[in-house]
């Protein structure tokens, strides 16, 4: 039997097994385990009497009070200031929430950096001033961490001599660099929102001014049309007055003018005007 026939036979056998159901393996028999019953119940904690404390003499108590007075820490302002700077190894962490320049650094250089950032960004509010100051401090601390990394490397071959401190300084550098960019992004976002508000106010004011001018032009146009109608009415009244005067003169000079005038109106299918009727009646 070749390989192809063996594979076909195995496939057929698997189909038959699926149709008839795979044989089930009997579950293993777990032997019974006889667990012995526990012994006598343990005593309750309430029934346990704590050991009695040895009495302390009054002299010993007074000596303890006197010794406690020697471990209260510094009390003078100079001592407190000096104690607050204990464990200042690298100065990459803020001291009591405040930025500090190390004695080995140049404070004039920091002030120059801060002045350059203020001149570049020109903060106009208290929030912008805080962001610019934080940018200067973060950049200074990132540069300090980078300088401290050089102390962890061999000056001759560049190998890292203190991997633990090198990793610490690298982490501080990354943290302060990220803080610098976060403050910069917040400053730009704040100014962008203020610029949008200013543009919105300007656009609203411009829209209101255009609407006011449009309303004034509409009112001027209405007034112009009103005076134009009045002028036309006055001109028509003047023309009718002149016509009536001419008719009156014609009737006074020619007695047959009225009959000819009415005949002409009847011929044209027109009616005499109200003024003409009133004048004729008068």
Give me the tens of pLDDT residue by residue for the chain, a chain 282 residues long: 677 888 888 888 888 887 776 555 555 555 555 555 555 555 565 555 666 667 778 888 888 887 877 666 656 666 555 445 444 556 777 655 577 888 888 889 999 999 999 999 989 889 999 999 999 999 999 998 888 888 888 878 878 888 888 888 899 899 999 999 999 999 999 888 888 877 776 777 788 888 888 888 888 888 888 888 888 888 888 888 888 787 777 777 777 767 777 777 777 776 665 545 545 544
User: What's residue 117's pLDDT?
Assistant: 93
Whether residue 227 is contained in a domain is answered as no
Q: What are the structure tokens assigned to 258, written together? A: 């009225």
Whether residue 51 is contained in a domain is answered as no
User: What's residue 282's pLDDT?
Assistant: 47
Closest to 241 measured CA to CA, from 273, 264, 206: 273
Report CA Rg, the chain. Answer: 55
> Which 8-state DSSP code applies to residue 76?
S
Residue range(s) defining the domain that contains residue 267: 234-281
Q: At what angle do helices 163-253 and 274-281 cross, to 10 degrees?
A: 30
Residues in the chain: 282
Residues 216-226 have pLDDT tens digits of 888 888 888 88
Q: What are the structure tokens assigned to 194, written together? A: 């203020």
Q: At what angle do helices 163-253 and 126-151 cross, to 10 degrees?
A: 160
Coil, strand or helix at 95: strand
- 166 contact partners, CB below 8 Å, separation of at least 6: 149, 152, 153, 160
Identify the residue whose tokens are 């009054």. 58
Number of domains the chain is built from: 1
**Cβ–Cβ < 8 Å for 138, 184:** no
Say how far apart CA 168 and CA 91 lie, in whole Å: 12
Whether residue 272 is contained in a domain is answered as yes
User: What's residue 31's pLDDT?
Assistant: 57
Alpha helices by DSSP H, listed for the chain, are 3-20, 58-68, 77-84, 107-121, 126-151, 163-253, 257-268, 274-281
Which residues are 98's β-sheet partners? Answer: 95
Whether residue 246 is contained in a domain is answered as yes
Count of CB atoms situated within 10 Å of the CB of 136: 21
Whether residue 245 is contained in a domain is answered as yes
Say how far apart CA 104 and CA 244 lie, in whole Å: 114
User: What's residue 113's pLDDT?
Assistant: 93
Closest to 170 measured CA to CA, from 196, 201, 147, 138: 147
Q: What are the structure tokens assigned to 240, written together? A: 């009718």
Residues 37-72 have pLDDT tens digits of 555 555 565 555 666 667 778 888 888 887 877 666
Whether residue 269 is contained in a domain is answered as yes
pTM for the full model? 0.44
Cα-based angle 81, 85, 88 (whole degrees, multiple of 5): 170
Q: What are the structure tokens assigned to 168, written together? A: 């610490």
């Amino acid at each position: 039997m070749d390989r192809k026939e063996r594979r076909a036979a195995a496939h057929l056998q698997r189909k038959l097994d699926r149709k008839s159901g795979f044989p089930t393996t009997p579950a293993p028999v777990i032997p019974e385990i006889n667990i012995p019953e526990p012994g006598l119940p343990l005593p309750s904690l309430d029934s346990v009497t704590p050991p009695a404390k040895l009495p302390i003499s009054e002299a010993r108590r007074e000596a303890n009070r006197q010794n406690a007075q020697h471990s209260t820490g510094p009390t003078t302002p100079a001592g407190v200031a000096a104690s607050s700077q204990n464990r200042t190894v690298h100065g990459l962490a803020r001291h009591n929430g405040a930025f500090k320049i190390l004695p080995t650094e140049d404070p004039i250089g920091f002030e120059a950096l801060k002045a350059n950032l203020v001149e570049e960004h020109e903060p106009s509010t208290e929030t912008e001033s805080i962001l610019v100051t934080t940018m200067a401090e973060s950049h200074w601390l990132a540069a300090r961490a980078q300088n401290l990394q050089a102390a962890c490397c061999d000056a001759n071959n560049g190998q890292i001599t203190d991997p633990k401190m090198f990793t610490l300084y690298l982490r501080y550098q990354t943290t302060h660099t990220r803080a610098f960019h976060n403050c910069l992004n917040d400053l730009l976002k704040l100014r962008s929102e203020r610029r949008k508000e200013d543009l919105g106010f300007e656009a609203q004011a411009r829209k209101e001014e255009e609407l006011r001018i449009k309303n004034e032009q509409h009112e001027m146009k209405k007034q112009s049309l009103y005076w134009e109608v009045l002028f036309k009415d006055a001109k028509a009244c003047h023309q009718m007055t002149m016509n009536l005067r001419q008719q009156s003169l014609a009737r006074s000079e020619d007695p047959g003018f009225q009959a000819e005038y009415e005949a002409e109106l009847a011929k044209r299918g027109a009616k005499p005007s109200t003024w003409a009727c009133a004048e004729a009646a008068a």
